[in-house]
Chain A
């Protein structure tokens, strides 16, 4: 779990991860990811959202190690600001723009799991609906039309807002998108805030369970 100056969801995200595996905080100046099986970049306001959301964090010292980790196939999950950081670091396609209504949104939305082939959704049933909160001002996913077509063709759109649930004007109702290889995923909604029915929904848990399942299957395959 990466913490930048200005991150604010790392504690909830750590708790969500710890339901399924060991998880610890990394600092934005760390350069060594040895022993790490999966990286999560949590939500927040890294570097005060100065210049553009995610732009400065995208250049932080740890990003070099994360880029290497991602190129080698390591799973990297970016939530909200983490998604913005991964786009700015060009580990994910597209960009995030201010919400169409220019309002900070904080509410539960319904997502559809478009693809359960991803390391982040393999424990979710395809087509399943997930109720997960969003809370952001800059969450409108943008990709030019030809890029969007490519993303669809290559199955990189992993999560979509259900019809009528798109809170921010994202193109194609895209809520979560992966890189071409599939091992890097960014999403605006917050699965880490939806892991316990006592706080409204536990639907977000399947994303964390998926990553752990993915890592464990790799370990088993390597041992076989």
Chain B
């Protein structure tokens, strides 16, 4: 699960990093958003969205993406 601040929510961490990058010579960077990555293993992925809605993300301030990778 990729969880990041919702559009329109001021992301203070993202802003700070965005200001720090040019100081190191990385010009032309914008729209930095910082979130978190939750990796987990499940037998059945049917309830992943429910997990995000109830605990892993706070839908009021965060949006999430679920990426399922099936073990080979």
Contact = CB atoms under 8 A, between A and B. Distances in A.
Interface of A: 51-52, 55, 59, 88, 94-95, 97-102, 140, 142, 144, 169
Q: Which residue of A52, A59, A94, A142 has the most chain B CB atoms within 10 A of its CB atom?
A: A52
Contacts of B12: 97-102, 140, 169
A169 B13 CA distance: 14
B9 A142 contact: yes
B40 interface: no
Contact of A95 (B16, B55, B61): B61
Interface string B42-56: 000000000000011
B10 interface: yes
A142 B55 contact: no
A169 B12 CA distance: 10
A144 B8 CA distance: 9
A52 B4 CA distance: 12
Interface of B: 9-10, 12-13, 16, 55-56, 58, 60-61
B60 A95 contact: yes
Q: Which residue of A94, A101, A144 has the most chain B CB atoms within 10 A of its CB atom?
A: A144
B58 A55 contact: yes
A51 B56 contact: yes
Contacts of A142: 9, 60-61
B9 A55 contact: no
* For the complex of A and B, 6 pairs with smallest distance between CB atoms: A95-B61, A95-B60, A102-B12, A98-B12, A100-B12, A95-B58
A97 B61 contact: yes
Given A102-B12, A102-B13, A51 B60 contact: no
